[in-house]
Structures are given as structure tokens and as C-alpha cells.
Structure 1
Amino acid sequence: MTHAVKKAELHCHIEGAASAALVLAQAEKYNSDISGFISEQQYVWSSFTEFLAAYDGAAALFRSAEDYALLARTYLQSIAAENAIYAEIFVSPDHAAAAGLSSEAYFEGLAEGIAQAKASSGIECRMIIVGIRHLGPEKVEAAARLASTRPHPLITGFGMAGEERFGKVADFARAFDIARDAGLGITIHAGELAGPESVRDALDHVRPARIGHGVRASEDGALTRRIAEAGVVLEVCPGSNLALGLYPDIGKHPFDQLRRAGVKVTLSSDDPPHFRSSVGREYQMAADAWGYDTADLTSITRTAIKAAFVDEQTRSNLLGQLD
């Protein structure tokens, strides 16, 4: 069992972390029909397009600061119970706006939930604003401009999520320049549904400190070496990759291959209830598949904390918990 290992997660979408039970409660609160994407207390979808529809359907049921405080608190408490000491959550002002919520109320609600979880469990959390790729470059730039104003002290990074096969990375480069100039940490989804060229384009046009997923880089030896030499950190989510059919089983997943090649890799759950996972399950799968012991798994947590978009005092405190 890996429960005793202290864990850290860098890649989780907060709307995608809403459990089916919580969404059912929200649907009852707002008298909404969710039969199209939840059945028997589980999310139901069969393609990435249907997954996005389920994600958006669940997100639409969080409509107030109080709703988001509840979501953040319940999620963070659930992973703290798995011995997670740090988490970063992707937050989407576009999803808040679609639900009729201002960005100010959205961030304040999330921050309240983060504070409540920290008070009850000690877990640290930061927020990364993401633009949604398939909404187009203008929307992503607007999200970057919002992020660049530092609308809340817990917002420390900027990234891009959504349909990876939409448009070209170069179309979104300006958004990342805006965020980088504001001193925000930079991450981008690449190399999951799209191949190694997606990762290469991200490196060329965005110059990220981290890449969300990035596992398809394993198909290109030169690219793998480039990532390792540059020290770019991959936010790897094996459970997500398996659920979306990238690999037939965990034994075929390239996490260990990348790690052995010198790439800095971390473990995260992405959209955990959709993929029937959690950060605890991700660590357990890695231990079962590759025989990782406590030292191996703790080194993965250490990599995540060193790569976290967080102030140096907090980083030092977190690393101290691993020693």
C-alpha cells in the first residue's frame, strides 16, 4: 500500500474533480436533469467529445461562490485523506462565466474552500488559470490577461486546456507571453490526444516550465532527450491516458520509460471521477506496475514540489515534510 507516501498533484481541473455524488446533489439543488452524463452514481461518456460535454454539464451546476467553496473543500479534503500535502487546481473563468458567475466570485469561492481544507487537513493548494483551447485564441488571451492582473494571491500560474487537436500552438503564443511577462508559472496541455509534434510545438512556441501530459513525447527519442535536457517537468496522468484509450493497460504506459530516460515526471489525476481515479490510485498504479518503493514514490512527490508554482518559503516547508 502507498497510503503512507506523502503525495503532491500538479494537474487537476477543479470542475472535473466534482464527484458524481456532489453533482447529483447540485442537480437536486438547481432542479436540473443530468441523466445524459451521470448514471448509477457514475459519469457516463464514450469519447473525448462526450467527456467534454459531461465535464461542461457538471460544471454548469456550480453557480455561486458557495458552490465552488464546497467543491474545492471536498476535493482537497478527499486527497488529503490519501496523504496529499500539496495540490494545484486548474481554474477556468470561462466555465464560471458560462454558469453566470463573475471571476471575482469564482476565485473567492475557490479560495474559501482552499482555506477550509487547509484548516481541517493542512493541505496547501494554489490555482492555475487556464484558457480553453477550443474556444479560440481570443478567449485564451483574455484568460491570460485576467491571470496577468494577479486577481487573487493564490493564483500563481497560467495554462491552456481543452481540445488539444484544435488550432496550432503558435496561435496561442501571445497569451503565454502575456502570462510569462506577469511572472506566472507556465504550463500547457500537449502530447496526449495529439502526438509528439504537439509537444515539440509547445516547447518551440510557449517555452513552458511544465507540460500537462506530454506522454506522446515517448514516441520520439530526440524529443524525449530534449525534454530531459531542458528540465521540463511532465504532469503525467496515467489513469486519464488509460481511460481515453491511449494505452491498453498500465504496463504499456510510458511513465517509467520517460523516468528512466531522465525526464522529470509527476503523478496526477486530471479529472479523477471521470476517469475513476484519484491521486492515491495514480501512486498505487505506479507502484504496482513498476515496483516503485516508498523512496521512488517520494522522489516523484519531491519532483512535483520542486516544480510547483509556489513561493520559496512554502516550497521549503513542503519539502521539509518529505525529509
Structure 2
Amino acid sequence: MSVQDLPKLELHLHIEGAAPPDFIRGLASEKSVDLGGVFREDGSYDYRDFVHFLSVYEAATSVLQTPEDYARLLTAVLEESAAQGVIYTETFVSPDFCGGSDVEAWKDYLLAMKEAAERAEARLGIVSQGIVTCIRHFGPERARAPARCAAETAGDWITGFGIGGDEGKGSLRDFAYSFDMAREAGLHLTAHAGEWGGPQSVRDALDDLHVERIGHGVRAIEDPALVDRLAEDGITLEVCPGSNVTLGVYPSWGAHPIQKLRERGVRVTVSTDDPPFFHTTMTREYAELERTFGWEPADFLEISRTALDAAFCDADTRAQIAEKLKDHPQ
């Protein structure tokens, strides 16, 4: 069996960042919103570097203004994921973009997304969960509102809490209050670190926020003691190789440390991050890993089982996905 035909699990996907450019352009046209500067002439998203990417991301998100907009967006995202062979996905959603982190408004957005997720599961077979994120460059005080939204809607579709945004802004310890709130509500925890912030940002996420997973985390390879700690503690990395290469964290797929991390015993998974922004898909990620590192179906199935073990889902969902993986023994 080709590796492209294997069932895939994705743990690191931003809902707005996964929006097809045509979807955003169409919504902007419906709402008569001018998105000048967001797109290149070929129709793809236009940005210069990571910081500019964040600005373009937020500009594109500005056309998403109602619960129905997010329901349509999630439908489009899950259709694309299912077309890539994804059977389980976790997507980051931010109440900052869904009702301004007002709890009652957030509940309306959440209901619309949950219903869209249920329809997609029934129609396409793809199972999804939502992870609420606060935005690091919005600051720690503003992070408390999305944490409250997450805490008050924990369970069912919302199963995790995390932090994204510019790793160069502020200190992770300043967000501890929000993470404590989410933890007390029973939510699983993850944090973007070790992409731009270096190995110390990974240590900070572990020591100050006590997360179970790390978004990216690849810069840990620069600190052998940290790599040992990740392996010994069973911390899972949500690795997004195509994103890292496109943004210049690494100059090429061959220079990416995902294989070295695996060899050192670190639990790694594969995701696309913001796929249309980075011109990737789960199919392309698999193809590049096969081409660059010689990964075979057994390697990818190991990655999928690692993702399932680390997934922020309940036992019944885990068993359901495990059954699908059993159809593809190593």
C-alpha cells in the first residue's frame, strides 16, 4: 500500500489558517470587504515572513464575522482534510476571533462549529475536536477571556487549551493563570514553542505551563538534555515540517530534525499547521517525508499511533480511531 493511502491523524491545524484562499475571497466578496494585500496575483496568500504572516492571517480572518461563517469554514476545512486521508483532526479555534471572547457569543460560534463537525463526521467519516487558543502577542491579560470561554464550554467538542501567535512576545509564565483555569476545567494543554523561541521556550512551556504536548518543539534538537527530557517524560511534539521549511526555520526538508528527534526517542507527530499559507497538505507532508527520510508505511503508522495516544479525545473516540488503524497493520 502506498503511504499516501494510509489513514492520517493531525493534531496541529489552525482553523483560519486552513481556510482555502477561494473561500476567504468568496466570503469577502459576499460581505463587500476589501482584502487588498492579502493575496498574490496567483490567488495564494501573500506574506514576507512570519510576523507579516500573522498580520495577513488576521486580515483574512476579519471576513469571518458570524457563527455561520465559522460553520462554513470548518466544513470546508474538514472536507479538504478528509480528501487528504485524515480520519481524525484537532483544530485550533480562538474565541478572540469568535465573538470577541464574550462567553455567550462564543457559545453561539461553538454550537455552529460543533454542528458542522457532526455533519462532516456523518458525511465524510472524519472525527474532529477543538482546542481553544489564546493569542500570545495579544498579551496575558487578554488571554484570560478565551481561557474563560474554554473553561465554560469544556467537554464534548472542546477538549484542549493552548497558546499560539508570536513566540517573541512576552513570557509564557505570564500566561500561567489562563492555563491553570483551563486545567481546572479538565482541558488538555498544549503550547506553541520551540519554533522561533529556541529550546528555552520549550522548557518554559513545560515548566511554567505544565503542558502535555508542544506545538512544533523542533528547536529542542539544539539542546541534548532537553531532548532526553522530552523522550523520558513522553512529551509529544506536534511537528509541522512543511511549515518549518516554508517559513525558513530550516532551509530544506533534509535539514529538518524530525528524524533525529525520532531516533532519540522523542514522540513526534506530523501536521500541516496552516496548509494553504504554506502550500502543503497532509499528502505532501507524507510524500516529502518518504522522499527525504525513506519513511515506509510502518513509520507512518507508528506516527499515527503516537498521535492517537496523544490525542485530546475521550476513550470511546480513541477506540473508534484505533479500530480504523487496525485495518492497516505494520
Bucket of the pairwise TM-score, normalised by the shorter protein: over 0.9
- Name the counterpart of 1:206: 209
Q: Residue 9 of structure 1 aligns to which amino acid in structure 2?
A: E
Residue 60 of structure 1 corresponds to 62
**1:303 equivalent in structure 2:** 306
Q: Out of 103, 126, 129, which is 2:129 matched to?
A: 126
Which residue in the other structure is 1:217 paired with?
220
Superposed counterparts of 1:150-229, under 5 Å: 150=153, 153-229=156-232
Matched, 1:262 2:274: no
Displacement of 1:98 in angstroms is 5.1
1:12 maps to a residue whose letter is: L
CA distance in 2, matches of 1:191, 1:108: 33
1:74 maps onto 2:76 in alignment: yes
SS in 2 for 1:204: helix
Q: Retained in 2: the 8 A contact 1:63–1:99?
A: no
Give, in whole Å, the separation in 2 of the partners of 1:69 and 1:13: 14
- 2:43 counterpart residue number: 41
Contact 1:218 1:224 in 2 (8 A): yes
Q: Which residue of 2 aligns with 1:117?
A: 120
Give the fraction of aligned pairs with identical amino acids, expressed as a percent: 45
Superposition RMSD on alpha carbons, in Å? 1.5
Q: Are positions 1:278 and 2:281 aligned together?
A: yes
- Structure 1: gaps of 5 or more residues: none
Give the deviation of 1:102 after TM superposition: 2.2
Q: In structure 1, how many angstroms separate the alpha carbons of the residues matched to 2:288 and 2:209?
A: 31
Kept in 2: contact 1:107–1:152 (CA 8 A): no
3-state secondary structure, aligned to 1:29 = helix
Tell me the equivalent position of 2:12.
Answer: 11
Distance in 1 (CA, whole Å) between partners of 2:48 and 2:160 is 31
1:87 counterpart SS class: strand
Distance between the aligned counterparts of 1:185 and 1:22, measured in 2? 31
Q: CA deviation at 1:112?
A: 2.1
Deviations 1:28-70 (A, max 9, x none): 1111122211122100000112101111111111112221111
- Tell me the amino acid that sits aligned with residue 56 of structure 1: E
Tell whether the 8 Å contact from 2:150 to 2:182 is kept in structure 1 after alignment: yes
Partner amino acid, structure 2, of 1:309: F
How much has 1:76 moved relative to structure 2? Answer: 0.7
Distance 2:24 2:146 in 1: 26
Match of 2:110 in 1: 107
Displacement, 1:99? Answer: 11
- Report the alpha carbon displacement of residue 157 of structure 1 after superposing the two structures with TM: 0.4
Cα drift, residue 283 of structure 1: 1.8
- For these two proteins, the number of residue pairs brought into alignment is 323
The amino acid of 2:60's aligned partner reads: A
Q: Structure 1 length normalisation: TM-score?
A: 0.97
Correspondence for 2:152: 149
1 CA distance for matches of 2:192 and 2:172?
10
Superposed displacement of residue 151, structure 1: 5.4
Cα distance in 2, alignment partners of residues 139 and 7 from structure 1:
35
Q: 1:243-297: CA deviations, max 9, x gaps?
A: 1111111000000000110000000011111111122221222111111111110
| C-alpha displacement of 1:120 | 1.2
TM-score by length of 2: 0.95
SS at match of 1:159: strand
The letter of the residue matching 2:166 is E
User: How far did residue 97 of structure 1 move?
Assistant: 3.0
